[in-house]
Amino acid sequence: CSFTQSVTQSTYGCSDLGINRITLTTTDDGNNATSASVNVTVMDTLIPTVAVMDISLVLNANGQASITTADIDNGTMDNCTIESMTLDNSDFNCNDVGFNSVTMTVTDQSGNKDSATAIITVLDNIAPTIITQDVTLYLDAQGQGSVTAAEVDNGSFDNCAIATMFLDKVAYDCADVGAN
């Protein structure tokens, strides 16, 4: 005596994750059939493939910049559905000028997760704004005098901190009397 078996569903995909109730039917040569219900549990145990790329990021006039996962994502994928993509750091300021490691973590709908690290090169490309003021310098009894950058400065600023200020000429004598 021979028999055949059939099921109501035999292939499964990501949309079938979890418990699926199916019916197994066995039929013999006399066309007698018996059916039973069974549970098929479909699981996704594969971690996402996280692909990131290094980028350069320029600070704005306020000395700030930020990124999203889309800025460093380089083709991340999963066999099912990606549930979330997060960064361990997305906001940068003047203190971050240079190389910064950022980790992107990707979690799929089954809770499988993996991560990868990208290098964010933070750049400050905005030159300082120089604001000066005229000063009057009185020579001493020896006919000498000097002026500092702080005396000439009138509120110069930068999106980050000004590291140094200097003048091309600081010492004056009798030969310099008048406007310089």
Taking only the tens place, the pLDDT of each residue in 107-154 is 999 999 999 999 999 999 999 999 999 999 999 999 999 999 999 999
- Which residues fall within 8 angstroms of residue 61, CB to CB, at 6 or more apart? 126, 159
Residue written as tokens 């010492």? 171
Nearby residues of 46 by Cβ (< 8 Å), 6 or more positions away: 78, 79, 112
Q: Give the span between the Cα atoms of 44 and 15, in whole angstroms.
A: 11
CA dihedral angle for residue 166, residue 167, residue 173, residue 174, rounded to 10 degrees = -160
Alpha helices by DSSP H, listed for the chain, are 69-72, 149-152
Which residue is associated with the tokens 């940068």? Answer: 92
Q: What is the pLDDT of residues 52-92, one digit of tens each?
A: 999 999 999 999 999 999 999 999 999 999 999 999 999 99
Taking the C-alpha atoms of residue 56 and residue 98, their distance in angstroms, rounded to an integer, is 9
